[in-house]
Amino acid sequence: MKKNICMILYSLYPYDARPRREAETLVSDPRFSVTVLSLKEHQRPRSYVMDGVSVQELNVEKYAGSSGVKYIASYLKFALLAFKACTGLVLKKQVDAIHVHNMPNFLVFCGLVGRLLGKRLVLDMHDAVPEMFAVKFKMAPGLMFKLLCLEERICSWMAHRVICVNHVQGDIVLNRGIPSRKLVISMNVPDDRRFPQTADFSNPQAAQNGFKMVYHGTITERLGIDLAISSVARLLDRIPGLELHLWGGGDYLDACLQLAEQLGLEDRVQFHGRSPVDKLTQKLRGMQLGVVANRKSPATELMLPVKMLEYIALGIPVIAPRLKGVQYYFSDKMVSYFEPEDVDSMEEAILRLYNNPALRVSQSAHAHEFLNRYGWDKQRQDFLRLYEDL
């Protein structure tokens, strides 16, 4: 008999790579089925099946502003509707385990009735909430940070397993009192079906149509997209045909659009909007350089951006800031580093790779050592084993 998994996520399912990878991995095994409860993409919520996964949108839109109060209100509305929907599935005996993706952590309480009735509960920590909220809402260290750490411990106590996305994040939550017996590291790496690892690092597109840089994902201030735009303005005279292509959306999109316009870069910085995971691979092919521009903060120090790993899978060399989460896994042979929030240093990294095609090839090849060790083809069985153990 199949085991039924209910996944809960405050995001748009078609655009969220990690939940999709995990849900599709589960349904690829005949022992499991998955129902996802997610935000609605359009005016009215839909129910549909995508690649074998049943998706039920709840009547909540993603809030992408800067108001902490409105964020919490949106989270609470989603939590109430998800609690109702999940409880209904539990009472109909259509759920054996509940897999909650943060943020926020307190979505685990959507599975409270299931937990009380003996269902297994998994908390998947995409981000460390105390650090993320401190940066996002510019909170000074103090009582609120401590309360968020307490919330993290309570939610982790509720769960049978807690998943962290890398070893740096895992060390942080262990130091905050999360029991090691509950902790599982399941890294946020590219789905090898959508981002097949290239065996050719010669980057045949490199000499064609100028020099194209790319960023995809959330557009928010902490991720430094404005710094990348500023670097384009300063490099136009030194890199003929330089372009920056951006796929994504977020609360900093309007500011980035205005910056590109102020700098006269409308034809050099191209905003393409959000793209479903399925269509990204083809759009990224032909790009010469992947840009990770995160500002330095307690939250970004813990990140290993999946977008960076997706570029690496496709043989695209990457520039990245010297932050702890990236440096834990990548040497200077694998990534071209620059100093965080230093546009001069970023320019130097871009120019170094532009002027040295052999370095681009060498860096791409060395970076693949990470995927050879940690790729999803290696971690898939560990993820399935997590559910076997549950």
Q: How does pLDDT run across 336-381, given as a tens digit for each residue?
A: 999 999 999 999 999 999 999 999 999 999 999 999 999 998 899 9
Residues in a beta bridge with 215? 246
Q: Please state, rounded to an integer, the average pLDDT across all residues of the chain.
A: 92
Task: Tell me the CATH number at 109.
Answer: 3.40.50.2000
pLDDT for residue 334: 97
Q: What's the pLDDT tens digit per position in 270-309?
A: 999 888 888 888 889 889 999 999 999 999 999 999 999 9
Which has more pLDDT, 201 or 337? Answer: 337
State yes or no: pLDDT of 12 exceeds 80: yes
Residue 124 covered by a domain: yes
pLDDT at 206: 47
Overall pTM surpassing 0.75 (yes/no): yes
Looking at the structure, tell me whether residues 317 and 296 fall in a common domain: yes
- Residue 244: phi and psi, rounded to 5, are -120, 120
Q: Cα(37)–Cα(59) distance, rounded to whole angstroms?
A: 10
225 with 289, same domain? yes
**pLDDT value for 37:** 98
**Mean predicted confidence (pLDDT) in 64-92:** 90
- Supply the pLDDT for residue 251: 87
Report the pLDDT value the prediction gives residue 205, as an integer from 0 to 100: 46
Quote the Cα angle for 187-364-192, to 5°. 40
Distance (Å, rounded) from C-alpha 330 to C-alpha 135?
Answer: 25
Judged on CB neighbours under 10 Å (0-12, 13-18, 19+), 244 is buried
Take residue 352 and report the two structure tokens written for it: 């170094």
Token couple for 317: 């060399």
Quick check: is 180 in a domain? yes
What are all long-range contacts of 261-267, with beta carbons under 8 Å and residues at least 24 apart? Answer: 263/229, 263/230, 263/232, 263/233, 264/233, 265/229, 265/232, 265/233
Q: Are residues 19 and 142 in the same domain?
A: yes
Predicted confidence (pLDDT) at residue 239 exceeds the cutoff of 80: yes
Could you tell me if residue 11 is inside a domain?
yes
Has residue 288 been placed in a domain? Answer: yes
Q: Which two tokens stand for residue 220?
A: 């928010």
- Tally of structural domains, the chain: 2
Which band of pLDDT confidence, cut at 50, 70 and 90, is reported for residue 56?
very high
In a domain, 198, yes or no: no
182 and 268 within one domain? no
Structural domain span for residue 232? 211-373
Residue 180 pLDDT? 92
